Amino acid sequence: MAPLLNRRDLQFQLFELLDTARLPERPRFADHSREVYQDVLKLAYSVAERHFANHARAADLNEPHVQGGRVVLVPEVEGAMRAFREAGFFSAHHDEELGGLQLPWVVMQAVMAHFQAANIGSSGYPFLTIGNANLQRVFASPEQQRRFMRPLIEGRWFGTMALSEPQAGSGLADITTTATPREDGTYAVSGSKMWISGGEHELTENIVHLVLARIQGGPAGVRGISLFLVPRFRVDGQGGVGESNHVVLAGLNHKMGYRGTTNTLLNFGEGGESIGELVGEPGQGLAQMFHMMNEARIGVGLGAVMLASSGYQVSLAYARERRQGRPPGSRDPLSPPIPITGHADVRRLLLRQKCVVEGGLALCLYASSLVDDLQTGPEAERADVSLLLDLLTPLVKSWPSRYAQDSLGDAIQVMGGAGYTRDYPVEMYYRDNRLNPIHEGTEGIQGNDLLGRKVTQAGGRGLALLWARMQADLDGAAGDGVADEIRRAVEIAAGQARDALQSVTSRASTLGPELYLANANAALDMLGQLVVGWMWLRQARAAARALPEATGDDAAFYRGKLQAARFFAAHELPKVRAQAELLASADRSTLDMQDDWF
């Protein structure tokens, strides 16, 4: 039986790679200690294993459906939500006065990782609810927070994000949902919202939708978009739940995977008014949403990593048991077949998974630790931290989403025909993860965000910070005893990426906006691979430092880290060059292609 996740590695990531154990030195975390964090993770493991992993396949096989006008989920989801609530995870990162533990975000993400590993579908409900509450925490009025945020933090109501519409997905500027002012200062929200996860269910007494809409008569484009709190059932001044707010389920989407998360088409204002309250100022809707995007996008990246992690654990356990074939050159048919971990190509498939899972986890937790630094780190560094986090966000979202798919393909491949059947969960993870390169901003959106905005933002300060931090690890690696070929592979790839970015950004005005962005995907892949290479360098440093004193399982663990870093350096980092050259060449082949030539 494969474990939910590699607990040893999570300890390594939080306490050997990151300085999580020193966060209690910050005032907000003064009551904490490493032991507190470990207890929280232990609780997460047990709740996730017991109440989430138990129905991942059942939810996949019995996707949400409508019966008697209500959305029916597999019954275990309710128990999962109760257990999550009772463990205090809806509020754990919030202020003590809100009932929270003031957990650092990096620990909160490590908690969430357990639920994403156990059951990505059911974890969607808390994921959205927490994100919704976090947004309200920043932008909603105290009055709104009392009525609409508190119930989310208590896990009594759930939340959604309602951005897309049937005609406007990636192009949010074209949403047409309207908000008509009512006499009491509220708005009547009217329009259709598509792809709304958790948009309708009977898990909670109420659902709070965060809806992007245009106030009637406002400007066209993004400047006219505002954000509204629109509950499923109306909420009175005391926070009591009243009659229907006329948010009508128009349909469920039937997806390839991620089936446990209900995904809906909702009509607002059908058969009556959907009353909504404006959040903050008019016209700030997209900005408010994007303020929360760093967080949501780290969450998507982490979800992808944890799906890959689950696939890795299952395929590794299988490979250790499955006997097949003999080593090359040893063809005695009477010798017993060997476990397939003995075959180089199977080890390649397992090593690549290990690199995606542990490299991706390092990246997501690194970014999460920057969220903490932004909120509780030294004041003087926060502007820089913010720029670095902005730069990393598209990479944190896209690299794991894309490479987890390859990794899960490798998990299937290790298991052969068995991996392709429903007898094992890897085919489900493979279907689940294919959503991740799409939602919360497609690959195309991430590429444009990276190259069109983030690398040049504040005069390239974010990028300069990235190079500086990477250089510091390169400088320290030799002293730690990291093998030279690992260090050199990162250095070479970094040089290639740096030159390529320099080459296009310096010519941006000559190239013009279309050609400048034409190969944004190459930039996204190039920088993603490099940053994960850097994460492997960091892991190799920590492992090389710890190995001399380590024995037994610990020594094997550190040797595995070093070997995976070596593998990534030899097999993956050299791929950066082709992407860097493509980017620097300002290749026009996609631009010059005409529609009728396809």
Hey, how many other C-beta atoms are within 10 angstroms of the C-beta on 58?
Answer: 15
Residue 561: exposure state from Cβ atoms within 10 A (0-12, 13-18, ≥19):
buried
Closest by CA position to 161, among listed 227, 66, 215: 227
Q: Which of helix, strand or coil describes residue 93? A: coil
Q: Which is nearer to a second copy, 183 or 553 (CB)?
A: 553
* Residue 481 near a second copy by CB under 8 A: no
Q: Rounded to the nearest whole angstrom, what is the least distance from the CB of residue 336 to a second copy in the complex?
A: 9
Closest by CA position to 39, among listed 117, 107, 100, 120: 107
Quick one: DSSP state of residue 184? T
Total residues binding a second copy (CB under 8 A)? 107
Please work out, in degrees rounded to the nearest 5, the angle formed at the alpha carbon of residue 488 by the alpha carbons of 482 and 494: 120
Spatial distance between the Cα atoms of 23 and 98, rounded to a whole number of angstroms: 21
Q: Which is nearer to a second copy, 384 or 410 (CB)?
A: 410
Spatial distance between the Cα atoms of 278 and 549, rounded to a whole number of angstroms: 59
Quick one: which segment of 69-77, 118-126, 376-384, 567-575 binds a second copy (CB under 8 A)?
A: 567-575
Q: Which of 431, 461, 498, 545 binds a second copy (CB under 8 A)?
A: 431
* Residue 560 near a second copy by CB under 8 A: yes
Could you say which residues in the range 91-110 bind a second copy, by CB under 8 A?
A: none
Spatial distance between the Cα atoms of 427 and 310, rounded to a whole number of angstroms: 11
Contact flags string 500-529 toward a second copy, x per CB under 8 A: ------------xxx-xxxxxx--------
Q: Which is nearer to a second copy, 240 or 513 (CB)?
A: 513
Contact flags string 327-366 toward a second copy, x per CB under 8 A: xxx-x-xx--x-x-xxxxxxxx-xx--x------------
Closest by CA position to 221, among listed 176, 266, 269: 176
Could you say which residues in the range 13-52 bind a second copy, by CB under 8 A?
A: none
Q: Which two tokens stand for residue 408?
A: 């899960």
Contact 493, 570 (CB under 8 A): no
Contact 474, 536 (CB under 8 A): no
Q: Which is nearer to a second copy, 32 or 297 (CB)?
A: 297
* Residue 582 near a second copy by CB under 8 A: yes
Sign of the torsion formed by the C-alpha atoms of 521, 523, 529 and 535: negative
Spatial distance between the Cα atoms of 76 and 207, rounded to a whole number of angstroms: 19
Q: What is the dihedral of CA 347, 349, 352, 357, to 10 degrees?
A: -100
Q: Rounded to the nearest whole angstrom, what is the least distance from the CB of residue 317 to a second copy in the complex?
A: 10
Quick one: which segment of 22-30, 286-294, 316-324, 533-541 binds a second copy (CB under 8 A)?
A: 316-324
* Residue 62 near a second copy by CB under 8 A: no
* Residue 556 near a second copy by CB under 8 A: yes
Q: Of 16, 63, 295, 440, which is the active-site residue?
A: 440
Spatial distance between the Cα atoms of 360 and 532, rounded to a whole number of angstroms: 7
Q: Which of helix, strand or coil describes residue 550? A: coil
Give the bridge partners for 213, in sequence order: 226
Q: Which is nearer to a second copy, 334 or 380 (CB)?
A: 334
Q: Which two tokens stand for residue 366?
A: 């690194």
Q: Rounded to the nearest whole angstrom, what is the least distance from the CB of residue 303 to a second copy in the complex?
A: 15
Q: Rounded to the nearest whole angstrom, what is the least distance from the CB of residue 458 to a second copy in the complex?
A: 21
Could you say which residues in the range 253-292 bind a second copy, by CB under 8 A?
A: 253-257
Q: Which is nearer to a second copy, 220 or 383 (CB)?
A: 220
Q: Which is nearer to a second copy, 241 or 547 (CB)?
A: 547
Q: Rounded to the nearest whole angstrom, what is the least distance from the CB of residue 420 to a second copy in the complex?
A: 6
Contact 24, 30 (CB under 8 A): yes
Contact 274, 188 (CB under 8 A): yes
Contact 307, 432 (CB under 8 A): yes
Q: Which is nearer to a second copy, 201 or 259 (CB)?
A: 259
Spatial distance between the Cα atoms of 28 and 406, rounded to a whole number of angstroms: 40
Q: Rounded to the nearest whole angstrom, what is the least distance from the CB of residue 106 to a second copy in the complex?
A: 25
* Residue 8 near a second copy by CB under 8 A: no
Does residue 358 have an active-site annotation? Answer: no
* Residue 472 near a second copy by CB under 8 A: no
Q: Which of 90, 105, 228, 567 binds a second copy (CB under 8 A)?
A: 567
Q: Which of 420, 456, 476, 488 binds a second copy (CB under 8 A)?
A: 420
Q: Rounded to the nearest whole angstrom, what is the least distance from the CB of residue 398 to a second copy in the complex?
A: 11
Q: Which of 64, 131, 311, 409 binds a second copy (CB under 8 A)?
A: 409
Q: Which is nearer to a second copy, 386 or 442 (CB)?
A: 442
Q: Which is nearer to a second copy, 60 or 473 (CB)?
A: 60
Q: Which helix (H) or strand (E) holds 264?
A: strand 263-268
* Residue 468 near a second copy by CB under 8 A: no
Q: Rounded to the nearest whole angstrom, what is the least distance from the CB of residue 59 to a second copy in the complex?
A: 17
Please provide residue 414's backbone torsions phi and psi, each rounded to the nearest 5 degrees.
-55, -40
Per-position DSSP letters for 169-232, written without gaps between them: SS-GGG---EEEE-TTS-EEEEEEEEEEET-S-SSSS-EEEEEEEEETT--SSGGGEEEEEEES
Angle between helices 105-118 and 344-376 (to 10 degrees): 140
Could you say which residues in the range 178-217 bind a second copy, by CB under 8 A?
A: 194-195
* Residue 439 near a second copy by CB under 8 A: yes
Q: Which of 122, 206, 413, 539 binds a second copy (CB under 8 A)?
A: 413
Could you say which residues in the range 145-174 bind a second copy, by CB under 8 A?
A: 164, 167-171, 173-174
Q: Which residues are annotated as catalytic?
A: 440
